[in-house]
Structure 1
């Protein structure tokens, strides 16, 4: 979801742009940008030695050693990891998706589908919508992060957990504003998470009946764990029990087989129903406003009315990482407070030194931060003792230095600077952004998805864009930063240390004017062979719809595998264990307008476009991305 609006970080911390300028100067990135212009970037050279040689002659460098992306990547050579026929720019726009000639796709679980694939549900009739009660048991809207949990070998059967980030009123309700609590409940039940069992039958994937299928939405019972659990800041005078998860963006998956859904722009669902609310400094820092995103929930549901003193702490109950067991529908979702409260994009999990669980997380807003959580000890040992590895550990925020190094600053009440501001660790975690401000973390350009590459051990962060980044003292390709970039982080001590090294992997603007152009990187996933899958969310250049690209991390070779439909976002990434099936999502196709697209229904049908999962396979059955 494009959140490039407003700024809530007024800390005055040194912006990442300042750090980046110094770093790029050290790497002579402007000269390399000239090389990119001469060479037409990696994608334009793929499989064409003559162009590679011509570019080398132009720059006076050998193609085999010319660096274009990352800290050791080179101009693309043919015969690498990424060998499919790329979707041409000219073919990447329209009301229906486009896919590489070497691939095929299937549409799965559009918004309104039944959880078990049975008949019924909502099929996109523009003159009606599901009832609130019906929507509780239908696939939600705003398909986003997801993961497939294997049943058997998992290559043709599994439990799919999928986030439903957002759905505007005109799309969900068919009108701009709710006029009753029923309307609000319909909207609420379209948000959250779906857990469904899917199976490949007759060569096609489809939902099947399952005891563990369920919807988790804004009115589902949840519980809290970790240092902030039971804190007064999570209790309301009304005494209402904790419920719900909302604006579920990206995800994480744990080594013990659970799903982490991440609450991002939760502030947008709250508002002031009476015109009497005055924001606290903390609420201002989290971006709360009188009408949020215009959902209007506050006018009919007191939980979301910021002016209602009975629910004064309801806003503190959102902004967390939520753990869900996809194999047990009786499990109550758990909000893991040790991982901090902010606008979580995702929680990329890896296992570090000593078997400790490590989570990399971005706070998706302009000028906000990158975080890391490290469990207290070996995750197997903790679970054997009945302790969640996500409840005990250290939460850090990143500070970037000019010389390509960085520091992980621990957010702990044991720090006298923070204990002077907060009374205990629970209060600190409820106000994670304020604590990070105090320590001088580096403001970033909308940190979104992170992925850890098993191929090289590096961590990659997508920084989508920042239209309000300014550098009036000198020209700089990232000031403003409308196109975004991708960071490469080398985290020392096998992910558990307190220092790191960083570099720029790709500046998206350097792909402009080439066949491999993309901007606004968002979703990412690194496969174990050395490919980086990149999904985009933003107005793409040259008339392209949002897209899925694949990059060879070692060479910088990049090709376009898939483009979506008009006005959508491409997001969500999961694969079968054999990596021969890939699942992605198209979110808000046509922005919900049936005059723009009717996807996944036939064009010209007049049907409301519906968010959908896309199942992708190579026609020859090979590894996806190859």
Structure 2
């Protein structure tokens, strides 16, 4: 998620508070222990950054069964473009021979009466409910004929998240207050600018893309849309609210960062920094709020809407009545999940899939689904010192019948990275004797880190509601802000961005591991044992360290990557493998020299050849990327640009998608 221009009243440390005080062994220490035996090299940053294994991890597999080998490991990935330079221009920069065009900016008419966007900010809340939302983020392109087995690259549903808002741009003069209350329509508009847009798009004979206005597929899912709770937490007493006395429903999805398309053609939206939308004025907070950093004031003061309407006061999660069924003390417990949306069924209710855990989901990435095998997906918890998770379904995948119910039963695991390059998936389950023993020990100790823990989890629902605490107890490895993940379609290796960690202390590192603090981040990858994504063991290495020119990723004394002016980058965030096997890396970090504006790079995962392909306008985050199945049209999202982009004649910045095409009609990146 973006770390700049959030709100003048809300600073970055509070946006993503460090709330993991479990004392689990930090990843920096694990990395240091493993690198003690590796050869050091000197670079322009003082010391080389050291990778842990050479080449691909495919050789780590001890199972030659072809049925466990996704894709074709023998395929070759080539980058056929000249890298672009860093840029400070207030425009999108792409290689020679490519064209970039802004598309569906915030406020684009989408549903209902198709209200036009007003450049003075005077659109109403009702207007915003029918317009494309703000702060575009993760997205996916679904071919219009997907459900019938097709793969159209000329028409489809472009589905995207809208992570958060810029109140100064959203309203004529920013957020306003009257006697310490917010105007109802401002609050309604802000809630509507969040969520998800489903946009029916089509390419004409000249190659130009447009919105199919009047399509029944066009849809807005907002912070106020009614949703069902599914999985083990459904009906749990800590989800009881005035709106849902049986704990089975809620309203809205918020702070949706990345996403994940499912094998059965639906869209999973992640709820990341949801904690800041709620205010709890109680003297004490329950552990499911403390471990997430819920405070006594909310980010946008929606609970202060002047009418006191139920749709707004639900953001006040203080204890205000005799029972949970009479107030909203549990409202925040209905957030922090992956939310499944069926873009092909506009009448369907979104489903919050609780078996995948409750934390700051950055997104979800599915391993290739295999007939008769469990469904496997991965998710990072995007905050400093948090964890990487994996879910393995209890039931097996059947292409003819698969749907979201596969995600309601299974085992949630959390990753432990060992110092010898091995790794373990630790089950978070009350059916696992090892976990129960650790939980009971925590009860005897009376706390987990600084959080009181005097009673065991009462059920699996209680455990999942407190996923972070459960991961602390299990002994997971705290990471440097795990964000997007991607699975290599050729090898099955899993990649995750570790964006950065400004809170990493220098004494967490040594000379072989100069990552404390870790201002520029790196990308980790692993291979599951036997190339079986459901396995409980894996082997890991570092794919690349980000940094300035001269930063080296070293394997056994050899620099396998040395960054230079063509590929220096910092704070890797977005990550996606295209259908040809290229790895796309997006950044959300410092825009100071030498990095300048945020960017997107393409990588060959076999050779670690990395080249800068795309640079965004001033002040933006480059986030969200997907292509059509033929890889000839690319969609890239630009979030929180500064003034006068994409319209130079307007002072009001607008988040937008960028369409990238190759002038000769060829494959992007070839």
The alpha carbon displacement at 1:514 in A equals 2.1
Tell me the secondary structure at the aligned position of residue 380 of structure 1. coil
Residues 606 and 82 from structure 1, CA distance in 2 versus in 1: closer, same or farther, beyond 3 angstroms? same
Alignment partner of 1:502 is 2:497: no
The alpha carbon displacement at 1:211 in A equals 0.8
**After alignment, is 154-163 or 230-239 more displaced?**
230-239
For 1:543 and 1:525, locate their aligned partners in 2 and report how far apart those are by CA, in whole Å: 21
Cα deviation digits, residues 360-397 of structure 1 (max 9, x gap): 1000000000000011132217946x871111111100
The alpha carbon displacement at 1:154 in A equals 2.0
Cα deviation digits, residues 436-489 of structure 1 (max 9, x gap): 111111100000000000122110000000011113263432111000000011
Tell me the secondary structure at the aligned position of residue 229 of structure 1. coil
- 2:265 is matched with which residue? 257
Alignment partner of 1:519 is 2:516: no
Paired residues of 1:71 and 1:505 also in contact (CA < 8 A): no
**Match among 575, 581, 589 for residue 641 of structure 2:** 589
| 1:471-620 equivalences in 2 (<5 Å) | 471-472=506-507, 474-475=510-511, 476-493=513-530, 494-509=532-547, 511=549, 514-515=564-565, 516-540=567-591, 541-542=593-594, 544-590=596-642, 594=643, 598-602=644-648, 605-620=649-664
**Match among 465, 474, 489 for residue 500 of structure 2:** 465
**Match among 177, 184, 187 for residue 187 of structure 2:** 184
Alignment partner of 1:312 is 2:329: yes
Paired residues of 1:467 and 1:480 also in contact (CA < 8 A): yes
- 1:108 is matched with which residue? 103
The alpha carbon displacement at 1:70 in A equals 6.2
TM-score normalised by the chain length of structure 1: 0.87
- 2:324 is matched with which residue? none
For 2:286 and 2:458, locate their aligned partners in 1 and report how far apart those are by CA, in whole Å: 17
Paired residues of 1:569 and 1:587 also in contact (CA < 8 A): yes
Tell me the secondary structure at the aligned position of residue 307 of structure 1. coil
For 1:382 and 1:376, locate their aligned partners in 2 and report how far apart those are by CA, in whole Å: 17
Cα deviation digits, residues 488-522 of structure 1 (max 9, x gap): 11112410010111100011026457212100000
**Match among 417, 437, 440 for residue 417 of structure 1:** 437
- 2:253 is matched with which residue? 245
| 1:73-88 equivalences in 2 (<5 Å) | 81-88=78-85
The alpha carbon displacement at 1:234 in A equals 1.1
The alpha carbon displacement at 1:196 in A equals 1.2
For 1:170 and 1:144, locate their aligned partners in 2 and report how far apart those are by CA, in whole Å: 19
Tell me the secondary structure at the aligned position of residue 222 of structure 1. strand
Paired residues of 1:231 and 1:426 also in contact (CA < 8 A): yes
Paired residues of 2:51 and 2:542 also in contact (CA < 8 A): no
For 1:117 and 1:303, locate their aligned partners in 2 and report how far apart those are by CA, in whole Å: 27
Residues 38 and 83 from structure 1, CA distance in 2 versus in 1: closer, same or farther, beyond 3 angstroms? farther
- 1:340 is matched with which residue? 357
**Match among 223, 230, 234 for residue 218 of structure 1:** 223
For 1:359 and 1:172, locate their aligned partners in 2 and report how far apart those are by CA, in whole Å: 35
**After alignment, is 403-412 or 415-424 more displaced?**
415-424
Paired residues of 2:578 and 2:626 also in contact (CA < 8 A): no
Residues 98 and 117 from structure 1, CA distance in 2 versus in 1: closer, same or farther, beyond 3 angstroms? farther
| 1:1-400 equivalences in 2 (<5 Å) | 1-2=1-2, 5=13, 6-28=17-39, 30-31=40-41, 34=43, 71-72=54-55, 81-89=78-86, 92-115=87-110, 120-123=115-118, 125=119, 127-152=120-145, 153-173=151-171, 174-177=173-176, 179-201=182-204, 202-208=206-212, 209-237=214-242, 239=244, 241-272=249-280, 275-292=281-298, 294-300=299-305, 301-309=312-320, 310-351=327-368, 354-380=372-398, 383=401, 388-400=405-417
Cα deviation digits, residues 212-234 of structure 1 (max 9, x gap): 21100111010011111111111
Residues 118 and 107 from structure 1, CA distance in 2 versus in 1: closer, same or farther, beyond 3 angstroms? farther
Paired residues of 2:77 and 2:580 also in contact (CA < 8 A): no
The alpha carbon displacement at 1:281 in A equals 3.0
Paired residues of 1:70 and 1:506 also in contact (CA < 8 A): no
Residues 623 and 69 from structure 1, CA distance in 2 versus in 1: closer, same or farther, beyond 3 angstroms? farther
The alpha carbon displacement at 1:117 in A equals 12
Cα deviation digits, residues 198-219 of structure 1 (max 9, x gap): 0012321111031121100111
For 1:119 and 1:410, locate their aligned partners in 2 and report how far apart those are by CA, in whole Å: 48
For 2:580 and 2:378, locate their aligned partners in 1 and report how far apart those are by CA, in whole Å: 21
Tell me the secondary structure at the aligned position of residue 305 of structure 1. coil
The alpha carbon displacement at 1:418 in A equals 6.5
Tell me the secondary structure at the aligned position of residue 304 of structure 1. coil
The alpha carbon displacement at 1:183 in A equals 1.1
For 2:367 and 2:105, locate their aligned partners in 1 and report how far apart those are by CA, in whole Å: 31
**Match among 618, 623, 626 for residue 667 of structure 2:** 623
Residues 172 and 26 from structure 1, CA distance in 2 versus in 1: closer, same or farther, beyond 3 angstroms? farther
Residues 336 and 121 from structure 1, CA distance in 2 versus in 1: closer, same or farther, beyond 3 angstroms? same
Residues 116 and 600 from structure 1, CA distance in 2 versus in 1: closer, same or farther, beyond 3 angstroms? farther
Tell me the secondary structure at the aligned position of residue 398 of structure 2. helix
The alpha carbon displacement at 1:73 in A equals 6.9
For 1:133 and 1:361, locate their aligned partners in 2 and report how far apart those are by CA, in whole Å: 34
For 2:485 and 2:112, locate their aligned partners in 1 and report how far apart those are by CA, in whole Å: 32
Cα deviation digits, residues 102-152 of structure 1 (max 9, x gap): 2111111000001169974215x2x33320111001000010001111014
**After alignment, is 371-380 or 173-182 more displaced?**
173-182
Alignment size in residue pairs: 578
For 1:244 and 1:325, locate their aligned partners in 2 and report how far apart those are by CA, in whole Å: 15
For 2:578 and 2:241, locate their aligned partners in 1 and report how far apart those are by CA, in whole Å: 44
Output the aligned Cα RMSD. 2.5
Cα deviation digits, residues 518-553 of structure 1 (max 9, x gap): 000000112344421000001144152000100111
For 1:73 and 1:379, locate their aligned partners in 2 and report how far apart those are by CA, in whole Å: 28
Residues 119 and 204 from structure 1, CA distance in 2 versus in 1: closer, same or farther, beyond 3 angstroms? farther
For 1:504 and 1:510, locate their aligned partners in 2 and report how far apart those are by CA, in whole Å: 17
